[in-house]
Structure 1
Amino acid sequence: MTHIAFLGTGLLGSALVEAALQRGDRITVWNRTAAKARALEAFGATVADTPADAVRGAARVHLVLKDDAVVEDVVAALRPGLSPDTVIVDHTTTQPAETAERAHRLRAEGVRYLHCPVFIGPAAAREGKGTIMAAGPRADFDAVRDALARMAQRLEYVGERPDLAAVYKLCGNAYIIGIAALVADVFSVASGAGVPPQDVVQVVQWFDPSSVITGRGKKMLARDHSPSFELEMARKDVRLMQETAGDRPLAVLPAVAARMDALIAEGRGADDLAVMGRDAVG
């Protein structure tokens, strides 16, 4: 029975702990709000009073924390109990530059550290679904690879560049957050036209959204602005969307309109919609 520590037992951390206990691991947990950690005692977890107590004797340490500042505080607090061979697996969504600095500093100090953000929600974590990305020294990844593979359906080792998984996590979350905001705008447009929002969900099944991402993405990367959907025509459509939504809140479309207007003012209205990525790809 492997002894593992989990520091951070919010929604995701708790779900990961529950799944690990179901796999038969021996888990010690710690959380700044003790009640959240105590709730896991019913599942078989042991609650530690301090981060150092939590990691003492652990073969692997998982961090599921709020942000870089909390990671720094918790890592400093756990160091007195950390064994030299123990790998810290940090699932926290963090700033890439700070992640890289932290990884280099800890490695220089002899601490084994991997940054392993996830695309996993609490329900998926309990079922061992979703994706884990891992960045850091290959030897450290190899030491925990089998264990990480049991936690998710997909495990992606992105290499030794320590901040690369952090970058991919932010990009993935940008897709998730951007899509959610756009769906809210779609519902506002539908409501403005007197159509029940639930009825427009089906529209996305009438074309392939992934082809829009990959197709326009490839055109942006190639700086191919030959028109198949002219920017001016797309701007007209955004105007119609805004007019139809009326005074209902819009999260994304006003910013899209502003970017289009700036490009059109530069004389790029006859270019393809992909010109919106002109300054993003260098």
Structure 2
Amino acid sequence: MANIAFLGTGLLGSAFAEAAAKRGDSVTAWNRSADKALALAPFGVKAAETSAEAVRGASRVHLVLKDDAAVEAVIAAAQSGLSPDAILIDHSTTLPALTAVRAERFHATGLKYLHCPVFMGPLAARDAKGSMMVAGPKVLFESVEADLAKMTGRLEYLGERADLAAANKLFGNAMIIGLSAVVADVLTLAQASGVNGEDAIRLLGLFDLNAMAAGRGLNMAKGNFTPSFELAMARKDVGLMLETADDRPMAALPGIAARMDQLIAAGHGADDASVLGIDALARP
């Protein structure tokens, strides 16, 4: 049984703390809003009045916080209670550049820190499903690998580069948010066309989205825009979509149309529609 702490017990943090306590760990939790930590008492989680009190005697300190500013402030406040061997496990979604600076500063001062963002919601956290990425010193990862594996369905160590998990978390969230926006527009088109929304979503099952993302995505990353669906034709289709939607709010397609117009004006109309990603290749 390990003595561990959770700093930040919102929806995800509380789910992690609850699951850890059910696995038999001795768990102490702290949250800015004390009631959220106190609500975990039925699961055997002890609530601490301060972050420094929460981490006292803990071998692992899990942070599930809103942003970089919260991570910095909470660690600074908790540091007086940290034992020399405690490992900070930061599950927060943060800016890659600030994550790299923070990790370098912590390691220089002797703090043991791993950045471990996740792709999972509260239910997945309770059931140890979803994915967790880890970036930081390999020796630290290996010392907690078995413990982290108990928290997730898939554990991916990305290497020692401190900001790599932060960057990959943004990649994944961009896909999730972008997909949500496009699906919203599909539902808007369905409404405008008098088609049941659930039927429209079922139709999307005809597509192998993973294969499309892998195939088109790799071609885009390589700068291969050999046409299979010309940008000009794709722009025509987007025009049909916007005309069908009429004055209904759209989440993604108007912005896509505007970008297509820019690229067509720049001479890319005969390239594949994936040329939408061309500017990503122009930067080092």
Could you say what secondary structure the match of 2:134 adopts?
A: strand
Q: CA deviation at 1:186?
A: 0.4
Q: Which residue of 2 aligns with 1:62?
A: 62
Q: CA deviation at 1:222?
A: 2.1
| CA deviation map 1:132-157 (0-9, x unaligned) | 10001111111111100010011001
Alignment of 1:109 onto 2:106: no
**Runs in 1 of length 4+ with deviation above 6 angstroms?**
none
In structure 1, distance between residues paired with 2:131 and 2:217: 23
The letter for the 1-side match of 2:181 is: A
What is the CA–CA distance in structure 1 between the aligned matches of 2:281 and 2:26, rounded to whole Å? 47
Deviation at residue 110 of structure 1 after TM alignment: 0.5
Count, aligned residues = 282
Alignment of 1:117-266 (within 5 A): 117-266=117-266
Instruction: Return the offset for 1:254.
Output: 0.6
Query: Take 1:237 and 1:99, find their aligned partners in 2: how far apart are those partners?
Result: 41
Higher deviation after alignment, 198-207 or 83-92: 198-207
Match of 2:43 in 1: 43
Equivalent residue for 1:281?
281
TM-score under structure 1 length normalisation:
0.99
Deviations 1:226-264 (A, max 9, x none): 111000000011011111111111110011001100010
Amino acid in the other structure paired with 2:85: D
Shift of 1:74: 0.2
SS in 1 for 2:29: strand
Tell me how far apart the structure 1 counterparts of residues 225 and 96 of structure 2 sit (CA, whole Å): 31
Partner of 1:52: 52
Aligned-pair distance for 1:160? 0.6
Q: Are 1:90 and 2:90 matched, yes or no?
A: yes
Q: 1:11 maps to what in 2? A: 11
Structure 1 unmatched runs, 5+: none
In 2, the alpha carbon distance for the partners of 1:134 and 1:207 equals: 31
Deviations 1:66-95 (A, max 9, x none): 000000000000100001111000000000
Q: Write the letter of the residue equivalent to 1:63.
A: L
1:271 paired with 2:277, answer: no
Any idea what the Cα deviations from partners look like across 1:93-129, whole Å, max 9, x if unmatched? 0000000000000111100000000001100111010
2: distance between equivalents of 1:175 and 1:278?
Answer: 18
Say which is worse superposed, 237-246 or 214-223, in terms of deviation. Answer: 214-223
Aligned to 2:281, what secondary structure does the other structure show?
coil
CA distance in 1, matches of 2:21, 2:124: 15
TM-score normalised over the length of structure 2: 0.98
Which string of whole-angstrom CA distances, capped at 9 and with x for unpartnered residues, describes residues 163-220 of structure 1? 0000000000000011011110100011111112111011111121122211111221
Q: Could you say what secondary structure the match of 2:280 adopts?
A: coil
**2:279 match: secondary structure:** coil
Structure 2 match to 1:28? 28
CA shift for structure 1 position 281: 2.4
